[in-house]
Amino acid sequence: MSGNHEHIQPLPYHFAQLQGLTAQQQAEYLEALDNPTLKGELEALLAVGDESDFITLIGGQVDRLTGDKAIEALSQTCVGPFELQGIIGRGGMGVVYDAKRIDGVFEQHVAIKFVYPSITALTGRETVFFEARCLGQLAHPNIVTIHDAGELSLGACYFVMEYLEGEALDAYSRRPETTTQDLVCRISDLCDALEATHRIHIVHSDIKPNNVVVNTEGRTKVLDFGIAQIMEGEVAATSQSTINRADSEGKDKEDISGDTAFYNSSEKSTSQNVKGMTLAFAAPEQQQGTVSPLSDIYSIGALLRYVLSLNAHYKKLPKARQQELQRIAEQCMQQNPDDRYQQVASIKHDLQNWLEGKRLSFEPKVSLLASRKWIKRNPWLSTLCVLIAITLPSGIYYQQQLSSEKAQSQEVAKHLESFIRYTDPAIAGKPMSEAKQMLLDTYNNVAKSTQLTLANKHRIVVTILDSLIGLGEYEQVLNYEKDDVF
């Protein structure tokens, strides 16, 4: 060896130096070491020979020292009142167990997430428990519930959480029976959940299909706040999902690491943070290390666009209706955060507008544009309106005709009333002179009427003259015939 400083190098350094040396050279190297313990460990490693390699050996040492492997062998053991049934998810940050309460107090089915001790050592307990603190502040029907949190003696932090059975949103979107309207309602539920988290200054930071689940009861659930961030704070940590997801292929277990990309960042904090995100759904500024509620808004738009692309019913919608949903997604995904929706509630409002066929909030209030959009959304109703517009003038004309005929009928009835009264017994018993005068008065009223048509006047006058002839008033009839009544 070249110098005394090599005697204080760690075991991996010396093991690497021994690789490629002959047996004689290795013996000479070991003989030169002053540390008997180090020498013994190296001899043991060399004795393994070709049965292993350096990475496996060192990995085994890490597992033994950290206890990471130990938390993968906890099935049928107990954590508090819960018995661990089996692993339902595994990822780079830890494992998730299916667990049931066995203390007899009451029945409870939960999921327990264990974070690898090596991750806890890297980030610190407070960072690991950040997710528990986030969820502990949220009592929302669309956010997974956390029941308890703690730490095992071997150093593994854990969270006792609501057990979810269901499908991630992408698998749910592919179902033949899932309508586009249903998907829009699911995204609206997501907006409800994130509105609640933003209200207490928490940004989720990892909105993606695997973190939005439709459970067997039909409720939308948002989970995995492992990398959520407090807006005013700098603490961030990555952990994994707690769901037993049954995907479209019917898998019982799923890798809970997803397609998350992990990287280190010190731009916002002097402490080392493990941050994660799913790049396909992450805002541009989030990829640069800046996170805000507007980052979640970008992710909502990316998620909306993605699940629509998987939905068969969406592809059958009229183009105008498809484009409206795409514009909502685009408004969420503007490169400049200031150009996006500024609040999650605004997205929800426009999704509701879409469901009701109303104008989107960011579209110009132009009457012609609104009319065209309304016609495209409501083709049958717009056709009916056109027919009404065409027939309305005719309807008004016929209504006027009916009104005129009604007035004629009322006028004729008024003048004929005297004849009807003439047949009344009370009148019939009166002198003939009164009956004659009644006919003459009626004749004069008809002659002066401006409401009766000439045809109706003629009918009434002929009737009156016939009645006067019946009474023997020939001279009176001749005088009337000389009058220019018509």
Span 170-213, pLDDT tens digits: 999 999 999 999 999 999 999 999 999 998 888 888 899 989 99
DSSP string, 285-327: HHHTT---HHHHHHHHHHHHHHHHHH-TTGGGS-HHHHHHHHH
* DSSP count for the chain of H helices, then E strands: 19, 15
Mean pLDDT of 285-297: 91
**Percent of the chain, pLDDT > 90?**
32
Closest CA to 277 of 290, 263, 267: 263
Cα–Cα distance, 466 to 478 (Å, whole number) = 12
Alpha-carbon gap, residue 172 to 221, rounded angstroms:
13
The string of pLDDT tens digits covering residues 311-339 is 999 999 999 999 999 999 999 999 999 99
Residue reference for tokens 């994660």: 276
- Per-residue pLDDT reduced to its tens digit, 100-125: 999 989 999 999 999 888 888 777 78
pLDDT at 108: 92
0.75 exceeded by the pTM? no
- Residues 222, 141: Cα–Cα separation, whole Å: 9
What integer is the mean pLDDT of 394-400?
A: 57
On average, the pLDDT of the chain sits at 75
Q: What is the pLDDT of residue 220?
A: 96
Rounded distance between C-alpha atoms, residue 125 and residue 122, angstroms: 9
Token look-up 């007035």 returns 407
CATH class of 71-377: mainly alpha
Residue of 419, 407, 400, 394 whose CA lies nearest to 470:
419
For the chain, how big is the Rg over CA atoms in Å? Answer: 45
**What single string gives the DSSP state of each residue in 220-243?**
EEE---TT-EETT-----------
Query: 83, 45, 204: which is closest to 138 by C-alpha?
Result: 204
Query: Which H or E run contains 119?
Result: helix 117-123
Largest CA distance in the chain: 164
With 80 as the cut, is the pLDDT of residue 386 above it?
no
pLDDT cut 70: percent of the chain above it: 63
Contact 100, 81 (CB under 8 A): no
What's the CA gap between 382 and 116, in Å, rounded? 62
Query: b/e per residue, 48-80, with b = 16+ CB within 10 A?
Result: eeeeeeeeebeeeeeeeebbbebbeebeeeebe
Backbone angles phi, psi at 306, to 5 degrees: -70, -50
- 8-state DSSP, 143: B
Domain span(s) for CATH 1.10.510.10 in the chain: 71-377
| Residues 405-427, mean pLDDT to the nearest whole number | 52
Helix, strand, coil percent content, the chain, rounded in steps of 5: 55, 15, 30
